[in-house]
Amino acid sequence: MANKKINPALTVFVCLLALVIGFAAAFFLYAYIKKPAGGDVYVSGDISFHFMELGNKASGDSIYIKAGNTDILIDAGSVESSTDTTSEYIKRYCTDNVLEYVIVTHADSDHIAGFAGSSSSPSIFDRFTCETVIGFNLTNKELTTASGNPTTYAQYREQLQEAIDGGAKYYTALDCYNNKDGAQRTYTLANGIEMEILYNYYYEHESADENNYSVCVMFNQGDKHFLFTGDLEEDGEERLAEFYDLPEVELIKAGHHGSKTSSTDALLSEIRPKIVCVCCCAGYNQYNAAEENVFPTQAMIDREVDGLVQKFEYQLMYQGLKLQDYLDFIKVPMADFRKNYEEQARKDVLNQLVISKLIKDEKIEATEEEVEAKIAEQAASVDKTAEEYKKTMDPRQYDYIRSDIVVTKLFDFLKANNEMYVEENKE
């Protein structure tokens, strides 16, 4: 049987930080995501998307895109020194030191700090020739702090002006959408690859949330689409979905670093992404604690813990024991017992995001005959007939048996239709 290429599943992976999601997820992802030193890269023909490490633990975006011979940078990281790390990475691929397009999504420091630079860490504008810069139209940012010092936004403005004085073309995203003064709504990057600046309601309307001013851009490669929305929040996403009849996309960079306030149903139900990329540790926030945004959420973990506890309970039932009797015997409260499962549950949730999509796409099911055979096997292990064993079962056990059969069939499918290989790092 010839090897079959499986369609990419809806996966969430954390760029810029190593995320171990187990064998099943790693096995699947490798065909689509490669990890050179310094970042993660998704490759589709002549276009590649590089989600770069920032050299620090702060939240932030910096995404380098290579389309044919055209070099694009979206945002520049969380602190001025981010450019020390990202520039080294970019120069491996951008050999002429020219960035044809630079996109600055909005004025938050975790997106513009690398453009601002510092005396010890030159800005992106100093390190590269930036031919066309596309920026946000509105901001609520001030130019000075309460103590009278220039803000990161003010430093960005200064560096941008120097780049313009040096020959860079500058347009706002609204200029591009309106094809104003030489700006273009759509730019041809390479043969069959375009960059489209989308319309965002908040290009023209004020918002209390700075994130809603984000520049939104779609990369089009034939019938494949790749969406970047900066830190666009729920309201902005809803208006984007209302304005456009958006296509399904191969990849989306999750809005606002994967926070619960972005990547909402209004948008996702339309674009139905195959891959969701979360740039830089969702839930980490250098300004405020944001535990509710941590991925996976506690609610997801709790549901998985429920399943693990139930599984253990079933194992005890096979031996004629009850869970509560077991806990009483070892003198461990249920709350503490559940806590022991949380780390495993966290990993299992991440695995299941991949596994569940594969099961759905490949239409893998457990037949009634397979369920009955499994029940007979379990009954025989405790010296009971299948009918006797069924009398002790509850509906949850049937669900567990079906799930076990499906996952086993999935791994058989993966082994039969794929080859696993490891690419040596030649650098």
Verify that 160 and 308 share a domain, yes or no: no
Verify that 265 and 343 share a domain, yes or no: no
pLDDT at 15: 33
User: What's the total number of domains in the chain?
Assistant: 2
Verify that 91 and 236 share a domain, yes or no: yes
Which of residues 293, 312, 340 is at a domain's end? 293
Tens-digit pLDDT profile for residues 19-67? 333 333 333 333 344 556 677 788 899 999 999 888 776 668 899 999 9
CA dihedral 102, 104, 110, 116 (to 10 degrees): 70
When pLDDT is cut at 50, 70 and 90, the band that residue 296 belongs to is low
**C-alpha span between 423 and 409 (Å, rounded):** 28
User: With 70 as the cut, is the pLDDT of residue 251 above it?
Assistant: yes
- Looking up residue 73, the CATH number of its domain turns out to be 3.60.15.10
Burial class (CB in 10 A: 0-12, 13-18, 19+), 145: exposed
pLDDT at 2: 38
* Strand 129-135 versus strand 169-172 pairing type: parallel
The values of phi and psi at residue 273, to 5°, are: -65, 145
pLDDT at 192: 94
To the nearest whole number, what is the mean pLDDT of the chain?
84
Quick one: DSSP state of residue 144? B
Quick one: DSSP state of residue 150? B
Pick from 206, 191, 113, 194: nearest CA to 151: 113
65 sits in which H/E element: strand 63-67
Tokens of 150: 């220039």
> Residue 1 domain-assigned?
no
**C-alpha span between 262 and 232 (Å, rounded):** 7
Can you tell me the mean pLDDT for 264-279?
A: 87
Burial class (CB in 10 A: 0-12, 13-18, 19+), 256: buried
> Residue 426 domain-assigned?
no
H-helix segments, 205-296: 234-243, 265-271
Tens-digit pLDDT profile for residues 311-326? 899 888 888 899 999 9
Q: Is residue 90 within 8 Å of 84, Cβ to Cβ?
A: no
> Residue 204 domain-assigned?
yes
Q: Is residue 130 within 8 Å of 124, Cβ to Cβ?
A: yes
Residue given tokens 């001030």 in the structure block = 142
User: With 60 as the cut, is the pLDDT of residue 422 above it?
Assistant: no
Verify that 137 and 196 share a domain, yes or no: yes
Q: Is residue 70 within 8 Å of 164, Cβ to Cβ?
A: no
Which of residues 267, 293, 319 is at a domain's end? 293
Which range of residues forms the domain containing residue 276? 32-293
- Looking up residue 346, the CATH number of its domain turns out to be 1.10.4030
> Residue 427 domain-assigned?
no
Verify that 390 and 361 share a domain, yes or no: yes
* Strand 33-34 versus strand 39-44 pairing type: antiparallel
> Residue 18 domain-assigned?
no
User: Partners of 127 in the beta sheet?
Assistant: none
pLDDT at 294: 58
Which of residues 260, 293, 326 is at a domain's end? 293
pLDDT at 7: 36
User: With 90 as the cut, is the pLDDT of residue 291 above it?
Assistant: no
Verify that 351 and 399 share a domain, yes or no: yes
Can you tell me the mean pLDDT for 397-417?
A: 85
- By mean pLDDT, which of 23-32, 140-149, 363-372, 411-420 is the weakest? 23-32
First to last CA, the chain: 35
Can you tell me the mean pLDDT for 350-362?
A: 78
Verify that 377 and 258 share a domain, yes or no: no
**C-alpha span between 102 and 265 (Å, rounded):** 29
Can you tell me the mean pLDDT for 174-194?
A: 97
When pLDDT is cut at 50, 70 and 90, the band that residue 10 belongs to is very low
Pick from 24, 46, 111: nearest CA to 73: 111
Tokens of 282: 């969702």
Residue given tokens 């992106």 in the structure block = 124
Verify that 47 and 129 share a domain, yes or no: yes
Torsion-angle region of residue 416: left (phi > 0), alpha (psi -120 to 50) or beta? alpha
- By mean pLDDT, which of 140-154, 160-174, 239-253, 390-404 is the weakest? 390-404
**C-alpha span between 104 and 76 (Å, rounded):** 8
Between 349 and 127, name the one with better pLDDT.
127
> Residue 4 domain-assigned?
no
Verify that 405 and 303 share a domain, yes or no: yes
> Residue 104 domain-assigned?
yes
> Residue 251 domain-assigned?
yes
**C-alpha span between 82 and 279 (Å, rounded):** 14
Verify that 260 and 352 share a domain, yes or no: no
Residue given tokens 């003198």 in the structure block = 331
Verify that 257 and 319 share a domain, yes or no: no
Verify that 216 and 256 share a domain, yes or no: yes
Tens-digit pLDDT profile for residues 204-217? 999 999 999 999 99
